[in-house]
Structure 1
Amino acid sequence: MLSDDDDDDDSSQLELEHKWRDEIFLKDRIPSWFAASGYVVLAAISIVTIPFIFPPLKWYLVLCTYILAPALAFCNSYGTGLTDWSPVSTYGKIGLFVIAALVGPNGGVIAGIASSAVMMSIVATAADLMQDFKTGYLTLSSARSMFVSQLIGTAMGCVIAPLTFWLFWTAFDIGSPDGPYKAPYAVIFREMAILGIEGFSELPKHCLALCCGFFVAALLINLLRDVTPKKFSQYIPIPMAMAVPFYVGAYFAVDMFVGTVILFVWERLNRKDAEDYAGAVASGLICGDGIWTIPSAILSILRINPPICMYFGPSASS
């Protein structure tokens, strides 16, 4: 058993470690005037350039977005730090509904979606930077070096992201309901912008009632999972996981199911290795699946078809 002296030594050691981390993290702190001036410069550039790209989104609407964004970015960064989950699209919908309603039928859809993208870019970047600072604090790295790395990565993204989009846009039929890249969020955000303009009266019959019903059902299921003993709650489905396939398609649910089966068998064979390496293996599988889209896009641009394909159809047509 540990004595009181051992407990005191452990607490003092932990306190010294915290002081050491604080000292290193705050040693190269970023001046407030630099952060504020950088935000103002970026806001000025956006106010000038974005209305040229999206004419319905006027300059004063972009200014309002930049004024509102810091408060939402703080909330998102705080929540991301606690949960490691960034619900950035939720904050983007605030700008989407508000701007779409303000602009109205003449360009409200474009203005709402564009303002949502601006809002999400600001809020997501703040959360990512906070996570970088958190990593720097835990690894005894300089906050300034983490910030510079974020700037370099953002500058690279300004070049790489448009090129990647062009690659996908050229190689695949983006947005096609029958294609591999259906872009479901594009349809959803467009419909939400229309909803912000026209109101609930334009929704299909009983649509609002169904939304409210499923919302209440999701709350009740989550509450039931919290109050039910663990041996029973593990068999109650998670509403968020149930909702994901409705957004991105069934293929995502199939991937997650296969991964769950692999993890289940692995835990039965060797629980310790599964706990230690499951995250790394899952990350490798996800990255591998994502990386393959690049050579797949290149092959599609070159009009090179795979030698084998599989097709399922009715017996009469086959």
Structure 2
Amino acid sequence: MSRYFGPSHGHISAAQPEFTLTAVFIGLGIGCLICFTNLSLGLQSGWISMMSIQSALIGFLISRMLPTPLSPQEIIVVQTTAVATGTMPLAAGFVGILPALGLLSEEKDGQPPIHLTWLSAAAWSCAVAFFGVFLSPPLRKQVIIQEELPFPSGTATAQLISVLHQLPPPDTTTRRRRAYRAVDDAEVIETPAEIDEVPLQEEGHEQDERERDLVQHEGWHDLLWSFGFAGTLTLLAYFFPAIFTIPLFGAYLAREWLWYFTPSLSYIGQGIIMGFPTTVSMNLGMFVGWAVLSPLSKLTGWAPGPVGDMSNGARGWILWVALGIMCTDSLVSLLPVVWEYASDALKPVRRHYTPITDNHEEPTKRDHEDETEDRLVPMSWVGVGLSTSIVVGTILVWIVFGHEGIKPWATVIGFFLGGLLSIIGVRALGETDLNPVSGLGKISQLLFAWLQPGNIVANIIAGGVAEAGAQQAGDLMQDLKTGHLCHASPRAQFYGQLIGSSVSILVTTTAFTLYNRAYQIPGPSFPAPTAYVWLGLARLLRDGQLPENSAKFMAGFSLFFGILSVVKIYCSSRHQARPGYAKWFPSGVAFAIGFLNTPSFSIARLIGGVIEYVYRTRYAKKEGGGDIRLVVIASGFVLGEGVVSIVSLLLKTFDVGVVSCWGCGHGLCGGCPAVG
């Protein structure tokens, strides 16, 4: 049965359901795969992907195999459910908060390590899983309907869905696929409309036709071979660990300075998704951190321990420099949003003292809501949901961590702070496509260092509660932007978000428990670098003590990237239509990520970034179909390794060992008994 757009605002007929069991089950299936992938990659590198475009692509390909293909609105439910399911490892702190609690030391912190059981971890996840979901409807009203922020990734996904379903393009002038396509805003180019309008439309139509044909005819082929290739390589690396620890720069540099290469296709796929500028920033940080500062701290005696030691080695020393860069860059990036809020707050005062003349009439705020009440989420649901999630969440946190871990009143403050920070994070995400949850979490830690001084556990937990709301609300807002542009029911998306988050509690908790049983976390295979950031800042706020001479470098790099971030914001604001050279300014957060991970993580991602750049500039236009084929292949690489990592996890759990440790003489192969 065909589905069609109705006459009013492009809505589909009421007879055509959007929230269907088929869409939900497909979304949950894709989301579970993304969840395992994100948990694995997050524990390895501290970086996860929303995978909204990839979810829509895979959902469309699966839909083509059904007797009745899914409608565009059902695909949006698929995507929304998948994203809510797949991003829980970060939203609930499984890649940072929980590993940080496991690093606590009785000697340093007066608190033994906290390792949650499956039931306790599930309770913690349940405590923070729904607050951001219930924040989404009111935030949608403000930032999507009234302010019409672009949300580039959400807009790109809407554009892709429209292309695949042969629909008119979304009602927006912004067409950007993050890390793939630059902003192409025809309305801001000062050229006569009668000259440019038709060629632009014809060119866009031909491009859309090529993209659609490419996905429909070659999409499954590209996805399956990339998935299979990445999965096969991952399984081989389990039985022959040296495959993923190649001493590319020599055994000495690999053994003593951790310079080796991991040819992971998942890392390469992530580099393709991140894009060339971001991977370059990450590798600049990797070079400065591991080729300059690491040897400097080691040879001068500032970090006398083994290079990879996080307590007294070079890796722990450069962690503080990375922490300074991340905090400064994240906080500075929030300044434009804070300034805009302050300006909005002062408008009533200025209006009171500034007479309004006939020639300066006050503009009225537009409301572009085109959904009927039965398709929106009632505010009564939001009120009840937020109240319940705060009360139940506070009780669950108190049950899991006890009264000495964090006071119930402090948890309540953490939820309210998370709500305020969510507004800032969503605004930043809507304007820049980057959600600065790292900086927002640090703000929460700073506050709780004052509210509960000396309590490391409370500091980390409160930061995690606040970050969870900001992270989840931001991710879901991208999906709601997609739904708004494609006229999907916000209520259907809300249902998908609730179901995805609920299922992900069980999936993520189970996966994390299995990883903890099979591997040492943090450890050689899963270093969990962001755990050290959380714990390091909590200790710094309590003690005020830094490793020898690290404070000078921390201050210097923080100042440099603070100034650089200001310049980047200024240049971007002056050239909003076409970012130009501003996008090539190093990203402070990506630069710091290069410090946190060993060189192998960054080098593989740079390969992906280079592939993306070369393909986009040299081959995409010649081949036709733009960059969509590369998106599909990158998705196969990431998902292939993520899914097969589940197989590796089961093999490890049942004590199935490696076949050969040949080539592991440098002592870096996590799977070999002599190393692990």
**TM-score under structure 2 normalisation?**
0.40
Matched, 1:206 2:555: no
How much has 1:289 moved relative to structure 2? 2.7
State the AA in 2 paired with 1:214: F
Matched, 1:303 2:655: yes
SS of residue in 2 equivalent to 1:205: coil
Is the contact made by 2:414 and 2:444 (CA closer than 8 Å) also made in structure 1?
Answer: yes
Relative to structure 1, the CA distance from residue 142 to residue 224 in structure 2 (aligned partners, 3 Å threshold; closer, same or farther) is: closer
What is the Cα deviation at residue 151 of structure 1? 0.3
Q: Which residue of 1 aligns with 2:250?
A: none
- The CA deviation at 1:247 is 1.8
Task: Say which of 111, 122, 131 aligns to 2:469.
Answer: 122
Selected match of 1:292 from 644, 665, 674: 644
1:174 partner SS: coil
Task: Give the letter for the 1:284 counterpart.
Answer: G
Give 1:61 deviation, angstroms: 0.3
**Alignment partners' CA distance in 2, 1:257 and 1:28:** 44
Q: Superposed, which structure 2 residues align to 1:1-318 within 5 Å?
A: 3=194, 22-24=369-371, 28-55=375-402, 56-105=405-454, 108-176=455-523, 179-199=524-544, 202-219=545-562, 223=567, 238-267=587-616, 270-272=619-621, 273=623, 275-309=627-661, 310-313=663-666
**What displacement does 1:312 show?**
4.1
> For the Cα contact (< 8 Å) 1:25–1:141, is it kept in 2?
no
Structure 1 residue 90 displacement after superposition: 1.7
| 1:42-99 Cα shifts (integer Å, max 9, x gaps) | 1111222212212220111011112222211111112212222222122112222222
The 3-state SS of whatever aligns with 1:23 is coil
**Contact 1:168–1:297 (CA under 8 A) maintained in structure 2:** yes
Separation of aligned partners in 1, 2:564 and 2:541:
29
CA distance in 2 between partners of 1:78 and 1:104 (Å): 31
Once residues 610 and 435 of structure 2 are traced to their aligned partners in structure 1, the CA distance between those partners, rounded to angstroms, is 27
- 1:133-154 Cα offsets, whole Å, 9 max, x none, are 1111122210000001000001
Q: Distance in 2 between matches of 1:78 and 1:116?
A: 20
Q: CA deviation at 1:25?
A: 7.1
Q: Distance in 2 between matches of 1:65 and 1:186?
A: 19
1:161-181 alpha-carbon deviations (Å, 9 max, x no partner): 1101111101111112xx110
Percent of aligned pairs sharing the same letter: 24
Q: Which has the higher contact order (CA 8 A, sep 6+)?
A: 2
Say if 1:198 and 1:101 are closer, same or farther in 2 by CA, change over 3 A.
Answer: farther
What letter is aligned with 2:528?
Answer: A
CA distance in 2, matches of 1:141, 1:231: 34
Mapped to 1, the partners of 2:392 and 2:589 lie a distance apart of: 38
SS of residue paired to 2:627: helix
Q: Could you tell which deviates more after superposition, 267-276 or 144-153? A: 267-276
CA distance in 2, matches of 1:192, 1:97: 9
* Corresponding residue SS for 1:313: coil
- Following the alignment from structure 1 to structure 2, what is the Cα–Cα distance between the partners of residues 196 and 114? 15
Give the secondary structure class of the aligned counterpart of 2:406.
coil
Q: CA deviation at 1:198?
A: 2.0
Counterpart of 2:493, as a letter, is M
Does 138-147 or 291-300 show the bigger shift? 291-300
Deviation by residue 1:231-283 (Cα, 9 ceiling, x = unmatched): 99898755543322212332320221221343355357523246343333223
Taking the aligned partners of 1:2 and 1:61, their CA distance within structure 2 comes to 57
Aligned length, in residue pairs: 294
Q: Distance in 1 between matches of 2:477 and 2:568?
A: 33
Which residue is 2:207 aligned to?
Answer: none
TM-score, normalised via structure 1 length: 0.81
The match for 1:14 is: none
The alpha-carbon distance between structure 1 residues 65 and 269, as it changes in their structure 2 partners (threshold 3 A), is closer
Counterpart CA distance in 1 for 2:478 and 2:582 is 31
Q: Secondary structure at the match of 2:487?
A: coil
Using the alignment, how far apart are the partners of 1:190 and 1:101 within structure 2?
16
Q: Deviations over 1:23-56 (max 9, x none)?
A: 2476511122210211111111122221221222
1:54 aligned partner, one-letter code: F
- The amino acid across from 1:191 in the alignment is G
Q: For the aligned residues, what is the CA RMSD?
A: 3.2
Q: Which amino acid is 1:248 matched to?
A: N
Q: Which structure 2 residue ranges, 5 or more long, are not aligned?
A: 1-191, 202-365, 573-578, 668-676
Whole-Å separation in 1 of the counterparts to 2:415 and 2:610: 45
Q: Is the 8 A contact 2:419 2:466 kept in 1?
A: no
CA distance in 2 between partners of 1:245 and 1:87 (Å): 17
Give the stretch that moved more between structures: 236-245 or 287-296: 236-245
Between 36-45 and 269-278, the greater mean CA deviation after superposition: 269-278
CA distance in 2, matches of 1:96, 1:235: 31
C-alpha displacement of 1:194? 1.1
CA contact (8 A) 2:521 2:528 kept: yes
**2: CA distance between counterparts of 1:78 and 1:58?**
30
Q: 1:204 Cα deviation (Å)?
A: 2.3
Is the alpha carbon distance of 1:308 and 1:159 closer, same or farther for their aligned partners in structure 2, counting shifts above 3 Å? same
- 1:289 is paired with a residue of what secondary structure? helix
Provide closer, same or farther for how the CA distance between residues 265 and 306 of structure 1 changes in structure 2, counting only shifts above 3 A: farther
Taking a change above 3 Å as real, the CA distance of residues 183 and 298 of structure 1, as seen in their structure-2 partners, is same
